[in-house]
Homo-oligomer: A and B are copies of this chain.
Amino acid sequence: MDQKPSYLKSLKKESVVQSVINCLTDAIRAEDLKPGDKIPPEPELAETLGVARSSVREAVKILTYLGVLESKRSEGTFVCSGYKESMIDPMVYGIILNKDSFENLMELREMTEAGMMRLAIEHHDESELEDLEAILEEMRNALNLKENRVDTFFQADNRFHDKIAEMGKNPMAFKINKVVRSLTYAVRYQTVSAMILSGRSDKLLDTHVELYEAIKNSDLEDLDSKVRKSYFEDDLG
């Protein structure tokens, strides 16, 4: 009912901010602006393009978060060379917004965690292996505490996985892993808690030792199942 005629739709003109964005990206594509180049100061750009500085600012900010530009206070704004971690952001938010089923989330975690294990095996150095062992020891100790066993263990547990992700030496992968883990935080806490309180803390610890050993021995076999076991109970699959 009352559908607007489709032949009119093309008239909706793009916003000022959008046209500034297009202007800048076109210049980059045409290589008038090359990576490392400084773009004109915001006030000047605003004047040149005949728009308000606030509009230019919004455009610049957006491109900054998309990893295209980089602003340095008092120096200027430059075209990025190389990647920026922020390039991952669209994906990160995509994940957050679309977190759907528990199963998908867990699959995703297994996928990223296994990936981080591979990277860690490939890129870690000895000192990090010791760090990892130390965290493992903390986890062991936590299980013998009288109070706050669960919380203390869980914190160390998180540091353990954080460390593995760090050992992969890939900032973008690290970021993805972190987000996915943050989304599974609550569930993992429950699992860990349940296992400890039901006296199966040995098993819990073993699964992490297994991960540690895999890295130490550069063992790429069965990473997926090893990873799964570290946050799932065996009989829960």
Contact A67 B93 (CB under 8 A): yes
With A94-B29, A100-B171, A172-B100 as contacts: A83 and B66 at CB distance below 8 Å? no
Judging by beta carbons under 8 Å apart, are B98 and A82 in contact?
yes
Q: How large is the interface on A (under 10, 10 to 19, 20 to 34, 35 or more residues)?
A: 35 or more
User: CA separation between A91 and B95, bound complex, in Å?
Assistant: 19
CB-nearest residue of chain B relative to A122?
B107
Task: Give the residue among A62, A171, A183 with the most B Cβ atoms within 10 A.
Answer: A62
Q: Are B66 and A89 in contact (CB under 8 A)?
A: yes
Bound complex: CA of A31 vs CA of B96, how far in Å?
A: 10
Q: Mark A87-109, 1 if CB is under 8 A from B, else 0.
A: 11111111111111100110110
Report A's interface with B, CB cutoff 8 A: 17, 25, 28-29, 31, 34-35, 54, 57-58, 61-63, 65-68, 79-83, 86-101, 104-105, 107-108, 111-112, 114-115, 118-119, 170-173, 175-176, 179-180, 182-183, 224
